[in-house]
Every structure is written in C-alpha cells, then in structure tokens.
C-alpha cells in the first residue's frame, strides 16, 4: 500500500504516518519544509518538498498511490499574538487550504495510476456554536471559521470525485493525545496551579482522542461504502468547565482560576471565539456505520494521554 500525506509534518500527520507504517505502507509526506529524514521517522517514510500551490516534480510522488490524505493548511491558532486574525491572516488561512487542495486535484488529474481514496481533513467548526446537536446533516455556521471550512477548505478538493476517487471529509474535533497542541498548554496550566475554565465555562467542548482519530480514519478508509462527510468527535462531548475540572482531577491539581472572556477578547480579538464558543457535535454517521470508540469518556482519554508521558 502507498499513502501520500500532504501537510504531514504536524502532530496529526506524524500520528497517521506511524499508524500506516505499522501496517507496512510506503509513505510519502509532502512538506513545505526541508525534505530530509527526521529522527523518529517511521520505516518506509520519504519526505518530498512541495510549495502547496503549484504542480511541479512532486506530482510523480502521487503515481501509484492508493490513498492521498490532505492535511495541508496554515495553523488556525498559535501561541503568539501574531496569529490574531487580521485581514491578511484570514486570507492566508484560506489560500493555504484552497491552493493546496487545488494543487492536489491538478496533480491527481495529471497522473496515470490514480489513488482510489482521497481523505480531506476539515474542522468541526463547520457547524454553528450553541446548544443544537450538530450531526453531519446540520447546515454550516456563519462565523469566520465556519465559512472557512464550508466555503474554502472542503470544496477545494471536491473535483477529485469527478476523477473517480472516493472522498472522505473528516470534520475533526480538538484532539486529546500526548503532546497534542490542544492538550499540552492545558496540562501546563494545571500543573502550574493556574488551570481553570475559559469564560463562563458553559460552552461545549467537542473532542476526540488520538486513538479514535486514527482508528476512525482507518475504519472509513477500509470500508468501501464509506464516503462523504463525517464528524470525527467523541460521543462524550463536555462543557468547558467539565474539561478543566476533569483534567485537574486526573493531574491531582485544582481547577480554580477562570480566564475571563474580556481578557481573551482583548488578547486574541476575533480568534477568542474559538475558545469562548463551542459546538455540540455528534458522530452520527460513524456510529451508524459501526465504528466503536475506544474513548467515549473524557477522563479515560486524558488518563491515556498523560500515562504515555508519565
């Protein structure tokens, strides 16, 4: 089996590469960084440079691939205020996704032996925030992130379906796993005794364990009848206050210091909405098709993630 991962140098890409390597796959990672082997690369992985925009020599890497996974796109959030959503930043978030998606479609169009499956990563922010239960049938929201996902990110690769590929659109919730970009800062805050809910704490926090993200992706790829959009989110979504409280209990630390909404809005601007508002998402299609979650409860997912770094 040959798997190509575009944007595979981040946390999710590394986890997926490791899982496919364990299955004996040949792996190609398309990276905007240096195309050199890195410590910890799994067996059978080769890095190929691409710019995420233009069709060049990297296209030959797609020839004979069975599966292409598109994780490419500029980070939505970061640890610095330079990640505030200025007009320029918003344009970059959109263009990095659209350009990469279109380049992959053009590359697949140009090769002779095309893949059978195309996996398009997406985000659970597709849906509007609030109390309504968001299954895959729910309409998209109108926030910046919702429109980015629904109008730019997902449509960028829709044309592969006309080329005969089975396309899976994975609307991924924040990932709970050892060292994940979502969990790591929360763990640090609680270990420093400054953990607590964000804003009022009543907003929903959709999540998925790294084990279930990898497991559900393989489940969908392996089932030929699976196609279209799927919510990759645990059925055990919690409110933000419960996230903080549960993490504090697992770490043996208090969860007592709320972060005021005003402070976040002053620091992050519009990007604060990603923390202050939440989607009550549900993995309806995954459950209907028979996927069985490893972690349906937040506490077990947190314990597994922290146990691996203990």
pLDDT at residue 38 in the model: 84
Helices (H), 125-269: 144-147, 183-191, 210-222, 240-251, 261-268
Please, which residues have CB within 8 angstroms of residue 197's CB and are 6 or more apart in sequence?
A: 240, 241, 243, 244, 245, 255, 258, 259
Q: Report the CATH superfamily, name and number, of domain 2-307.
A: NAD(P)-binding Rossmann-like Domain (3.40.50.720)
Q: Is the pLDDT of residue 125 over 50?
A: yes
Q: Quote the mean pLDDT of the chain.
A: 94
pLDDT category at 82 given cuts 50, 70, 90 is low
Q: What percent of the chain has pLDDT over 70?
A: 97
Walk across the sheet containing 67-70 and list its strands: 45-49, 26-31, 2-6, 67-70, 117-123, 166-172, 228-232
pLDDT (tens digit per residue) in 299-308 = 999 999 998 6
Q: Are strands 238-239 and 117-123 parallel, antiparallel or unpaired?
A: unpaired
pLDDT at residue 39 in the model: 87
Q: Is the pLDDT of residue 136 over 80?
A: yes
pLDDT at residue 79 in the model: 47
Q: Is the pLDDT of residue 156 over 60?
A: yes
Residue whose tokens read 């804003």: 199
pLDDT at residue 80 in the model: 47
CB 247 within 8 A of CB 194: no
Encode burial over 161-196: b for 16+ CB neighbours within 10 A, e otherwise.
eeeebbbbbbbbbbbbbbebbebbebbebbeeeebb
Average pLDDT over residues 285-307: 97
Q: Is the pLDDT of residue 310 over 60?
A: no
pLDDT at residue 305 in the model: 97
pLDDT at residue 309 in the model: 58
Q: Is the pLDDT of residue 121 over 80?
A: yes
Q: Parse the chain into domains and list their residue ranges.
A: 2-307
Q: Is the pLDDT of residue 251 over 80?
A: yes
pLDDT (tens digit per residue) in 172-228 = 999 999 999 999 999 999 999 999 999 999 999 999 999 999 999 999 999 999 999
Q: What percent of the chain has pLDDT over 90?
A: 89
pLDDT category at 281 given cuts 50, 70, 90 is very high
Q: Is the pLDDT of residue 127 over 90?
A: yes
Average pLDDT over residues 79-108: 88
pLDDT (tens digit per residue) in 25-46 = 999 999 988 888 888 889 989 9
Strand partners, 170: 121, 230
Average pLDDT over residues 140-150: 96
């Amino acid at each position: 089996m040959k798997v190509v991962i575009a944007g595979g140098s981040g946390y999710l890409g590394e986890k997926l590469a490791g899982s496919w390597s364990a299955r004996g796959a040949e792996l190609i990672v398309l990276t905007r960084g240096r195309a050199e082997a890195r410590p910890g690369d799994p067996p059978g992985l080769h890095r190929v440079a691409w710019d995420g925009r233009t069709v060049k020599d990297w296209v030959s890497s797609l020839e004979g691939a069975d599966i292409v996974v598109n994780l490419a796109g500029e980070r939505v959030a970061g640890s610095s205020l330079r990640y505030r959503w200025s007009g320029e930043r918003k344009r970059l978030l959109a263009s990095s996704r659209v350009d990469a998606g279109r380049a992959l479609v053009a590359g697949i169009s140009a090769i002779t032996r095309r893949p059978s499956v195309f996996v398009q990563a997406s985000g659970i922010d597709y849906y509007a925030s609030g109390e309504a239960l968001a299954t895959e049938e729910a309409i998209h929201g109108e926030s910046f992130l919702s429109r980015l996902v629904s109008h730019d990110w997902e449509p960028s690769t829709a044309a592969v379906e006309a080329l005969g590929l089975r396309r899976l659109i994975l609307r991924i919730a924040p990932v709970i796993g050892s060292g994940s970009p979502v969990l790591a800062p929360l763990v640090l805050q609680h270990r420093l005794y400054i953990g607590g809910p964000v804003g009022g704490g009543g907003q929903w926090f959709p999540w998925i364990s790294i084990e279930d993200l990898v497991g559900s992706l393989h489940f969908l790829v392996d089932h030929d009848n699976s196609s279209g959009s799927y919510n990759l989110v645990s059925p055990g979504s919690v409110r933000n206050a419960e996230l903080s409280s549960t993490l504090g209990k697992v770490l043996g630390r208090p969860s007592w210091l709320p972060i005021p909404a005003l402070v976040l809005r002053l620091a992050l601007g519009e990007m604060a909405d990603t923390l202050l508002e939440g989607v009550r998402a549900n993995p309806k299609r995954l459950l209907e098709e028979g996927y069985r979650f490893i972690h349906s409860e937040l506490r077990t997912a947190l314990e597994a993630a922290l146990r691996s770094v203990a």
